[in-house]
Chain A
């Protein structure tokens, strides 16, 4: 049982480059979300989705784009990377919106130079 799988684990980008962080879950969870973790700031919600075709913004959505074409996958796109986007990114899913615990992926450490 894989749970929530994130790729890549590490990535270095140059300012202005674009990339996609991948997230997949095999638990048939309707709810999926992306967080960034920065020292001293906890986890901040970037975007979330309550099902295929439905996405919405979280606390810090600027500079990020998401789509949800299937229940399993929820990729996060950085359109034009900036040094301020250097962070650790976590994907998480849950069975029932915000009423059940989140299952987290292993994280992606992103550095933007």
Chain B
């Protein structure tokens, strides 16, 4: 089956620094990738939809200047949390989809971000 990886799996950083999270589709080309955030005991919240070669579409309430998304290739999307603060601490999950077919989204294992 299709595999999506994320790197790093967990990261701890100081307040004010920027953190980059990578999402890769390992064995298929993903024209669309999605980024989610999940707080403890809560459901996944869609942050943005990322299409290869174009600007990401952000959900209402998500700051595009704070959460920078780059989908430069068909196998890689990156999420950069700029000037991270403790309230940005969360579990970030990406998923990838293959366009043009009836297909489920393939989710990555997630990245645990802790901002001190």
Do A and B assemble together? no
